[in-house]
Structure 1
Amino acid sequence: MARYPSGVTIVTTRDHSGEWWGFTATSFCSASATPPLVLVCLAKTAECHPAFLTAESWTIHVLHAEQEELARRFGTRGADKFAGGHFVPNADGSPALSDSCTTIDCDASVRYDAGDHTILVGEVTDARMNESLPAVYFQRRFRSLQIP
C-alpha cells in the first residue's frame, strides 16, 4: 500500500464527557453522493477507538503539506494531539482545525467491522474549503502536489 498515493486527514470527535479525541487517517474516501457519505478506517488498537465507536459525529480535516507535524502527532500513540492551539470547538463542541484544506463535518451513519479496523461511515452535514493544496502520502513520505 506504500505505492498507493493518498491524501492525509485527521479525524476528530468528542466523547460523552466532552474529552477530545483524534487520529490520522490515510484511508478516507467518498462512499455516496446521495446521501453524501464519506468513510475512514480506524485501527481497533487506537486509544481513541472506544470514543469513535460511540461518537454521534466527527470532523474530517484534509491536511496541507505544511501540516506534516500535526499528522505525525495525531498518528502517535500517547501524544498530546491537541497541543499547539490549532483547534477550536465547533457547533457541537468537537475539535475543529481552523486552517485545513477541507473540513468535513459528519453525523455517524454506520460502523463496520473490518478485521483489525473499524470502518466509520459518516453523513456529511457541512464542508468548508480553502485554497491550499492537500498533502499527499506516498512511499511512507509526505509530499506536496506540483500543479503547473
Structure 2
Amino acid sequence: MQAPNTLMKRLGYLGLLPFVATLLLAMTDIRLFHLSGQQMFIAYSAVILSFLSGILWGNAIDHIAHQLSRNALILSNLFVLLAWGAILQGNKHELTAAGLLAMGYLAIWFAEKLIRQTERENNPQEYQPLRSRLTVAVILLHAVLMLT
C-alpha cells in the first residue's frame, strides 16, 4: 500500500496529464467528440478549479473561528462561479476563459496558503510545496494555451 504522501504527489502530477493532452490537441487543431482542444482544456480546468474550491471550503470550515476562513467560504463559492462562467465563455472566448481560470488558480493558491499560514498548519509538510509546483505548472499551461 502506498503512503498517503506518495499517493497525494502521484495524483497531483497525474492531474496535469489532461491539461497537457488537451493542450496538445489545441496546438494541433485536433477535435475529439466535436470539441476543440481549447474547449476540453477549459472544461477540465473549470472542474479542477471547482475541486480546489471544495478543498478551500474544507479548510475554511476546519478553522471557522478565524475571519480569514469565513471569507474563504465566500471565495470558494466565487471560484466555482468563475469556473462556471469560464465554461460558458469557453466556446467563443477561449482567451478570456483561460485567463480567468489562470487567475482563479493563483487566487485560490494564495487564499489557501494564507489560511494554512494563519492557522500554523503545515501538515503534511509536502503539501504546500506540491501545491505551489502544481499551481505554477497549471498557470504556465494556461499561458501556453492563451498563446496558441
TM-score (norm. length: structure 1):
0.25
From the two aligned structures, give the one with the greater strand fraction.
1
From the two aligned structures, give the one with the greater helix fraction.
2
Structure whose alpha-carbon radius of gyration is higher: 2
TM-score (norm. length: structure 2):
0.25
